Amino acid sequence: MEPLHILLVADDPLARMGLAMLLSTHAGDTAVINQADTTFFSDGWSEPQTPPDVVVWDVGWTAVETLPVWDEGGAPVVALAADEGQTAVIWSCGVRALLRRELDPERLWAAIQAAVHGLIVLDPELSDGVVTAVSPITLPNEDLTPRELEVLQYLAKGLTNKAIAQHLGVSEHTIKFHVNALLSKLGAQSRTEAVVLATRQGLIVL
């Protein structure tokens, strides 16, 4: 089995070194293919020299001012927050996992595996701040149709519009229409936020 290719992103070289040491406990299962600071987001995200399977991002004490949007394509991102006040802005950019900076190797490895398999990982201590800051938890103004609920389940698995269209035997344009309807009904700004809100409302179970 091929090891997961991991890109480490942090402005602090010591933080990158620390992450590399944590991941070294799973040598053979992981391979750190590159380390970069946050200029990678603006300079190299679209065409990385070696495509990673997952990005582990230590946010540090100050989140970057302009965040990329990771909902469509690209490697999933596991973000590590230094402060609870950062969680809303980090989560809103579409990361797949958000954890506290202080964690052990097993928790980091579990989060990486979950993110790679399309699951959402959110530290329970950070969840209230994320959902409250991003969007109020309310039931949809309109009921979701059976097809929209089906699309929502696929979104929770991390599938792209193209992949969902293939599973359901419809056009990608049709799936895009359903996704836009879901975002509107749930009051969400992104696919990731829609999954989080739907999970909190009991519409889906991860």
44: tokens are: 């190299």
Q: What count of other Cβ atoms lies within 10 Å of the Cβ of residue 166?
A: 13
Q: Are 187 and 135 in contact (CB under 8 A)?
A: yes
Mean local confidence (pLDDT), 139-162: 78
Residues with Cβ within 8 Å of residue 7, at least 6 apart in sequence: 32, 33, 34, 35, 36, 40, 48, 52, 54, 55, 56, 75
State which H helix or E strand residue 108 sits in.
Answer: helix 105-116
pLDDT in tens, 91-135: 777 777 888 888 888 888 888 888 887 777 777 777 655 554 444
* Angle subtended at Cα 19 by Cα 133 and Cα 86, rounded to the nearest 5 degrees: 15
Output the pLDDT for position 60: 78
> What is the amino acid identity at position 121?
V
Kindly state the average pLDDT of the residues 197-204: 67
Q: Sorting pLDDT into bands at 50, 70 and 90, what band is 48?
A: low
Evaluate if residue 137 carries a pLDDT over 70. Answer: no
Residue 139 in this model has a pLDDT that exceeds 50: no
pTM confidence score = 0.61
Looking at residue 169, the DSSP 8-state letter turns out to be T
pLDDT at 65: 53
Structural domains in the chain, CATH included, are 4-134 (3.40.50.2300), 146-200 (1.10.10.10)
Stretch 65-92: mean pLDDT = 70
Cα atoms in the Cβ-side hemisphere of radius 13 Å centred on 132: 8
The alpha carbon of 14 is separated from its chain's Cα centroid by a whole number of angstroms, namely 24
Q: Which residue has the higher pLDDT, 176 or 96?
A: 176
List phi, psi (to 5°) of 190.
-150, 165
